[in-house]
Amino acid sequence: MNSSILSDGLPEKRTENPSTSLGAGLSQAEAEKRLQQYGPNALPEQKTHLWLVFLKKMWGPIPWMLEACVVLELILGKYIEAGIIGALILFNAGMSTQQENNAQNALALLKKRLTVNARVLRDGAWQLLPSVDLVPGDVIYLRMGDLVPADAKVVSGQISLDQSSLTGESMAVEAAESALTYEGTIVVRGEATAIVSETGIRTRFGKTAELVRVARSTGQLEKIVFSIARHLVILDIILVAIVLAYAVFSGLPMQDMLPFALILLVASVPVALPATFTVATALGAVTLSKNGVLVTRLSSIEEAASMQVLCTDKTGTLTENKLEVSEIIAFSPNSQQDVIHLAVMASDAATQDPLDKAILEKAKKAGVDLHINDSRQRFVPFEPATKRSEAFFNQNDHILRIMKGAPQIISTFDSNLDEKFTQLVDGLSSKGLRVLAIASGTDDIVQVAGLVAFQDPPRPDSANLISRLKKLGIRVIMITGDGLITAKSIASIIGIGDRASLGESLQIPQTGSDEDYDVYAEVLPEMKYQLVKKFQKKGMVVGMTGDGVNDAPALKQAEVGVAVSSATDVAKAAASLVLTSPGLSNLVAAIETSRRIYQRMLTYTLNKIIKTIEIVFFLSFGLIFFHTFVTTPLLMILLIFTNDFVTMSISTDQVKPSPLPNRWNVRSIVWGAVCIALPILALSFGIFWYAHSVLQLPLANLQTLLFVMLVYSGQGTIYLVRERGHFWLSLPSKWMLIGTSADILVVGLLATQGILMAPIQIMLVVEVFGVICVYLMALDLIKVPIFAKLHLN
C-alpha cells in the first residue's frame, strides 16, 4: 500500500457543488440508451474449458505415480490391474473437476452481489449505482478509498491517485480540473467530480478492477497433510527396500516383486487427497456463499479455524450504521436552527458520508435551504487524520469559515470554552451517541456554535454475536475512531467489555500487557495495522475487520482480513473474506465452516496414517514372516479404490465445529494414529493367523479373506476416528453412509461370487464384519482417553 495513504498531511482540496456546474447529469432514459450503444462497463469473463481443467488434474506428483503404475502393469501384461488404476486416475480427475466447477459457479453468483459501486448524478439526484451501469457522459463523484470505475475527466475538485496498477509507479499522482483519471486506479486522497469518457474495453486499463481472486492456493492444512504423507512414503520406501532385499535373499521372482513393491508404495500415497481437498473446499465455498461470505483467498478458510483474536470496527459492523440526528445543543447566541444550518454548510451530499446524509436529512425536515452550498467557495472533506471537515463562504466580502468534526479537535479552535463543554460531550457520549462539534468564524476567530449528537444504536444481533464468538474461544477487541466514552458505552452494552484505552497507547512502549484492553478508541487507521502486528508478535492468529482504504494494510497483514459489506473497493480488494450483508453474523458461519473443514481433514489424516501403518506393515511383515504374499497386486489396487476413494465422503461429514481455535499439532496427530493403528494391526495378524492356521484356507482364498478384512477395517476406522469422543455421539452424513454401505456390499459380493478373486463363503464375510465391528467398539473405549490426553479435538 502506498505510504501516502497513511500520511497526516492534508493537501488543499476544492469541491464545488456539481449539481450547479453540471446540471442534472444524464437522465435515466438517456443512460439506458447509451448503455445499449456502448455496452456494460465490464469485460466478458473468459472461462477455462472444463476439458482443460480435467487434463490438468492428471498432471502432478500423485497422478504421475499412478500413471507409472499403469505403464508398468501394461508392460507386465496385467491389463485388468492397469485398467483399474486408469479408472482411479479418471475418477479423481473427474470428481475434482466437477467440484471445482460447482465452487466456481457458486462464487460467480456471489460476485454478482459484490459489485463496485459509483456515485452517479442521474436525473438531478446523487445515487449509488453498480459501476457496470456507467456510460460515457455520466457525472461521477470520487472520494478517498474508491477505485476509479471508468476513464473520466475531472471537472472540479482535486484528488491524489495511486496509478501503480497502470504504471508500476508507487508515487501518487495529483489530478485537478481537466485531468484524466483511469479505471482501476485508486483515490488515496481528496474528492472530485468527473465526467466519464470511456467505459469497458475502451478504457485505458482495458478491464474492470479485479476485486476477487478465486485461484486456489495451497493452504497450511493441505501442506501439513502432504508433509505427513511424505514421511509415510519415506517409511514405505524403507520397508520396500527391506522387502526387496528379502526377495533377493530368498530367491523370489522379481517379476512378481516389482508390481508388489510399486503397489506397496502407492498404498502410502494419499491418492484421494486432491479430490478430498477439492470437495471439502468446494462444499465450504458453497456453504459460505449461502451465508453471504465471499472468499477471495481460499486458504483463509483454513486460517479462520485458527483465529484467536478478532479486531473489529464499531460503526456499521457492531452498530446499525443508520445514523440520525438525535440531539442538537446550541451555544448562545446560536439557536438549534442556526447549528443545523451551519452543519449543512460544512456537509456535502455528493460524498455519501453517513454523517453528512443524517445532517442533510435533519435539515430537510427542519426546513433549512439545502441550496445554500451553491455559493460555497471551497470545501475540505473529512479525513481521519484531521477529524474534521471545513467549508469556506464569501459573506459580505469576508471569508466565513465553518468546521464540523470531533469535539476534542474543534474545541482547540475556541479558547472561550470551559469545563461545561467537556461535560456536555461526555454526557452525550455516555449514552452511546456520536458527537460532532459545529464552529464558525474567520481564520483568526472561531467560535463553537453547538453540538450535534447522532444515534447509531447497536445492531440487534451484536450482543448475541459477541457471545457466540467468545464461546468459540475468540477474543473480540473493538477499535474505533469514536471518543473513549462512546466506545466504552457501546462495548459494554454488547458484551465486549469496558476495559478501554486510547489508540495512541499503541504507539507508546508499554510495561504491562495491552491484551487487557477490550476497546481502543480514537484510533487512526494506521494504528490498526500496528495492533495486528502486536498480536501476531505474540504468536496469535489475528482476524481484522475494516471498511476504509486506510484499513487495507491491516486487512492484508491479518491472517483473516474481513471486509464488511459497506467497505470501500480497496478494502475489499485487500481482504481475504468479504461479507455481503451488514454486520458480522456471517463471519461466525465462516469460522464454523472453517472448523468443520478442519475436523473433516483431521479425520482424513488420522485415517490415512492408521491405514498406511496397518497395510504396509501387514503386507511387508506378512511376506517376511509367513513367506507368502498376503494379498495380490490386483487386490491391492482394488483396496485403494474401495478404501481411499470412498474416504472422499469424509468431506461431506456432518461434524461439529471445533469448540476452540484449531492448531495443527502433528506430533499429537501421529501419536494418536499410531496408538490406534497398532491394535488394528494386531487384529489383522490375528485374523490372518486364524484363517491360515485354524481354518487352513488355501492361499488364494486366504488372500480374498484378508482383502475383505482390510476393506472392512478401513471403513470401520473412518467411523472410529471421525469423533474424537465416542463414535455414537453424532451421526455421519448420508453420503458417508451410502459410500460405506455400497463398499461393504460390493466387496462382499465380489468376494462371495469370486469376481476378480477366489471365492469365499458368505459366512466368513459376515464373521469378519462382525469381529471388526466388535473390536472397533472396544477400541473406541481406549481411543477416547488417548485422544483427550493428546488434545485431539
Active site residues: 313
| Distance in angstroms (rounded) separating the CA atoms of residues 175 and 156 | 10
Task: Give the CA-trace dihedral at 216, 221, 227, 230, to 10 degrees.
Answer: -70
Which amino acid is located at 210 in the chain? E
Strands 560-563 and 542-546 come out as: parallel
Helix, strand, or coil (residue 326): strand
Task: Give the CA-trace dihedral at 458, 431, 546, 561, to 10 degrees.
Answer: -60
Asked if residue 630 lies in contact with residue 706, where contact means CB atoms within 8 angstroms, the answer is yes
Helix, strand, or coil (residue 754): coil
Supply the Cα-derived Rg of the chain in whole angstroms: 33
| Distance in angstroms (rounded) separating the CA atoms of residues 363 and 345 | 11
Q: 718: which 3 cell numbers?
A: 473412518
Question: How many residues does this entry show for the chain?
Answer: 793
Q: What are phi and psi of 396, to 5 degrees?
A: 55, 45
Q: What are phi and psi of 252, to 5 degrees?
A: -70, 145
- HSE (side-chain half, CA atoms, 13 Å) at 645: 20
Closest C-alpha to 135, from 55, 43, 35, 63: 35
Could you say which DSSP state residue 732 is in? P
| Distance in angstroms (rounded) separating the CA atoms of residues 766 and 403 | 86
Burial 575-591 (b: 16+ CB within 10 A, else e): bbbbbbebbbbbbbbbb
Rounded to 10 deg, the angle between the 61-75 and 254-267 helix axes is: 160
| Neighbouring residues of 311: CB distance < 8 A, sequence distance ≥ 6 | 477, 479, 528, 531, 532, 535, 542, 543, 544, 545, 554, 558
First to last CA, the chain: 39
